[in-house]
Structure 1
Amino acid sequence: MRKAVKINGVAAVAGAVVATVVLAGGPATGQQDATAAGPANEAFAAAAAEFDVPRDLVVAVGYGETHLDGHGGKPSQDNGFGVMHLVSNPKRHTLEQAADLTGAPAHALKTDLATNIRGGAAVLRALADEHGLDAADRTRLGAWYPVVAAYSGATDDRVAKMYADTVYDLLGNGVRANARGEDVVVAGQFVRPEQGRFASVRALDDVSGDVHAMDYPNSIWNPAHSANYSVGRSSAITTVVIHVTQGSYAGTISWFQNPDSQVSAHYVVRSADGEITHMVADADTAWHARSGNPYSIGIEHEGFVDDPSWFTDAMYRSSAALTTWLCDTYGIPKDRSGIVGHNEVPGNDHTDPGPHWDWDYYIQLVNGG
């Protein structure tokens, strides 16, 4: 049943279109067509018009979160759903907010593409209202920067800024995705972000002034919450464990900083460029692999197990350089006896890094290939 609600006087009517969207290529060029035929394009265009949110912004936010893949309604690591990553956990409730704003049931918001996109657009509009964006402001892509930062849910301003910067990089470079043969395109365009208070926030990769004694030198120190790991170790370090985040880079960092998550890893690697955030000191025990925690270093890789588009060459090479350093530092064998997947650690029920992780290539890189 369709249900109409209003957000600041804007009527909202729920729809239902199902599609699965997967990455099809790199940056898009040329003029995008927001009216392109097909369920995904129609869903983005309809949601943008209904809630007065720029269509390209909705696509870029969704792409940054999930590569526009809803993963069959399965949750991310921090219990987010669908292409717009609507979250339901102790600290964030954008799924419930979207249900209130649109009148759509939670199940549909989790599993139905059009309903999920509509929910994400509704949350973005609600945040825009909270930030005081009027009708004229909402026409300017740059004015949405603080709204996008807020959509991240990050409590750390540096993480929120990184999240927003990623979305605006996507707007600048363009996006091309595919929905079962249906192109979803955002053309690259010049946008000047109106950062507001975030202009004075230090970028996450700006390490000037950091006093932490870094373990791996080519990383950014941004610690997990102390409730999510144990100080010290009960065993020598003998193993590197390879993980996939089941979520975005910024979302994973934020989740490890959430004291309710009860999970962490030592390092998180970004898909696009291989940037590495260091979150738990090597000498401490991250909570990432149950029985393997005392003797291992955990490396999380941005992405989803069932979507190989996240496993870029930049990620492989950056992660392999980190693993090489760890093996040299702690005397770990540079082979599959010392470098294992999360799924291979006894007592674990996870499947990452999954069948799309190229172990042969990774081990070759670790050994200087």
Structure 2
Amino acid sequence: MRARTTLGAAALIVGAVIAGLATPAQAGQADPFTAAAAEFDVPRDLIVAVGYGETRLDGHGGAPSQDNGFGVMHLVSNPSRHTLERAARLTGEPVAELRTDTAANVRGGAAVLRAMADEHGLSGADRDRLGAWYPVVASYGGAADDRVARMYADMVYDLLRAGVDARGVTAEARDVLPELGRFASVRALDEGAGALDYPGAIWNPAHSANFAAGRTDTIRTVVVHVTQGSYAGSISWFQDPASQVSAHYVIRSSDGEITQMVHDQDTAWHARSANASSIGIEHEGWIDDPAWFTETMYRSSAALTAWLCDTYGLAKTRDVIVGHSEVPGNDHTDPGPNWDWDHYMSLVNGG
């Protein structure tokens, strides 16, 4: 499975409205995206695209992401990023409301986008041009690595071009040309560059504070994880020295792109007691939403797992290929009940 650096438009247009998760608009209230756009002079469809790229417009009942982000707009509170607290200051909304209330969260995300636009010097006329928001969107993603920031912004602009239809919220597809600014000289993550292990991956290393060089045990297990967050956000989190976590590989939902972040012969910190003897694979998504587990992701991941088993002499069985929740001494529940183990294992074994 070869890595790709752009998202397929067909994979981005989601038409299913999840039963029982009505938006405020469906409940007879004003569309929170339209209201927030008017209040903070941020393009409404840009807010939608950012929210969809972060969470597919699902607030997950206030549950935090892997890097402690909350709500549809993924407002973050961790040692390195404080968009949740910034949204509270800008809007006057209590932090508790920003975490759990969709309308408040969307309003907070719009307020942060507008504050960042002011910091980037966008005038009123600039704010009317969707393309001018590109560097603002890159900043909103929170990546320290400019290449990851560009990947995040490219994802949002791919969504604007493809359109969004999810959970009762729509944004029409539009032909928009991003104004890259300084990001025009930022190269994309290179396919295969420095990836000394799996040949189909992009190499983008985790921070050295988040894994241990070498191993104290042989590789005996492949551990399947779910990121509880976005692809770009998870990569950024593993590059943050404050996180103290990492995985060997991260896989994107839409197209199966694989980023390798720790070499196989080094010890990623992903599964506590199994760290020294395992390879960790993170899959973009949330355990409570099976829509993230696309066929493309399953096939890309299965090809990687099959390669790992062949390379390190591992049996392609469920006692070797395990979920994070199955590792002794762990308190995580991923990949959760929506992960199709039968299908996945059939693909690993050539099905």
TM-score greater than 0.5 by the shorter chain: yes
Distance of aligned partners of 1:239 and 1:93 in 2 relative to their CA distance in 1, 3 Å threshold? same
Distance of aligned partners of 1:292 and 1:39 in 2 relative to their CA distance in 1, 3 Å threshold? farther
Distance across 1 between alignment mates of 2:117 and 2:152: 17
Aligned mate of 1:187, from 156, 167, 172: 172
1:164 lines up with 2:177 in the alignment: no
C-alpha contact (below 8 Å) 2:12/2:162 kept by paired residues: no
Aligned mate of 2:209, from 227, 250, 266: 227
Q: Look up the equivalent residue of 1:62 and give its one-letter code.
A: G
Distance across 2 between alignment mates of 1:307 and 1:214: 33
Distance of aligned partners of 1:192 and 1:28 in 2 relative to their CA distance in 1, 3 Å threshold? farther
Between the two proteins, the alignment pairs up a number of residues equal to 333
Shift of 1:214: 1.7
Distance of aligned partners of 1:197 and 1:93 in 2 relative to their CA distance in 1, 3 Å threshold? same
Q: Look up the equivalent residue of 2:140 and give its one-letter code.
A: Y
Which structure 1 segments of 5+ residues have no match?
1-24, 30-34
- Which residue of structure 1 aligns with residue 119 of structure 2? 130
Shift of 1:36: 6.8
C-alpha contact (below 8 Å) 1:26/1:176 kept by paired residues: no
Distance across 1 between alignment mates of 2:331 and 2:307: 28
C-alpha contact (below 8 Å) 1:78/1:89 kept by paired residues: yes
1:318 lines up with 2:300 in the alignment: yes
Distance across 1 between alignment mates of 2:291 and 2:131: 28
Distance across 1 between alignment mates of 2:348 and 2:150: 32
Aligned-partner SS, 1:165: helix
Deviation by residue 1:133-173 (Cα, 9 ceiling, x = unmatched): 11111111111000000000000000000000000000111
TM-score of the superposition, structure 2-length normalised?
A: 0.92
Shift of 1:337: 1.2
- Which residue of structure 2 aligns with residue 150 of structure 1? 139
Distance across 1 between alignment mates of 2:14 and 2:301: 27
| Structure 1 outlier segments of 4+, above 2 Å | 35-41
What does 1:156-305 align with in structure 2 at a 5 Å threshold? 156-178=145-167, 183-204=168-189, 206-207=190-191, 210=193, 212-305=194-287
Shift of 1:348: 0.3
C-alpha contact (below 8 Å) 2:248/2:261 kept by paired residues: yes
Distance across 2 between alignment mates of 1:162 and 1:51: 25
Distance of aligned partners of 1:78 and 1:36 in 2 relative to their CA distance in 1, 3 Å threshold? closer
Aligned-partner SS, 2:31: helix
Distance of aligned partners of 1:38 and 1:145 in 2 relative to their CA distance in 1, 3 Å threshold? farther
- Which residue of structure 1 aligns with residue 316 of structure 2? 334
C-alpha contact (below 8 Å) 1:64/1:166 kept by paired residues: yes
Aligned mate of 2:53, from 56, 60, 64: 64
Aligned-partner SS, 1:166: helix
- Which residue of structure 1 aligns with residue 13 of structure 2? 27
Shift of 1:334: 0.6
Identical positions, percent: 72
Shift of 1:332: 1.1
Distance of aligned partners of 1:351 and 1:255 in 2 relative to their CA distance in 1, 3 Å threshold? same
Q: CA RMSD in A?
A: 1.6
Aligned-partner SS, 1:115: helix
Distance across 1 between alignment mates of 2:327 and 2:172: 43
Shift of 1:39: 6.0
Distance across 1 between alignment mates of 2:240 and 2:52: 24
Which structure 2 segments of 5+ residues have no match?
1-10, 16-23
- Which residue of structure 1 aligns with residue 110 of structure 2? 121
1:362 lines up with 2:351 in the alignment: no
C-alpha contact (below 8 Å) 1:28/1:188 kept by paired residues: no
Q: Look up the equivalent residue of 1:69 and give its one-letter code.
A: D
Shift of 1:188: 1.0
C-alpha contact (below 8 Å) 2:195/2:202 kept by paired residues: no
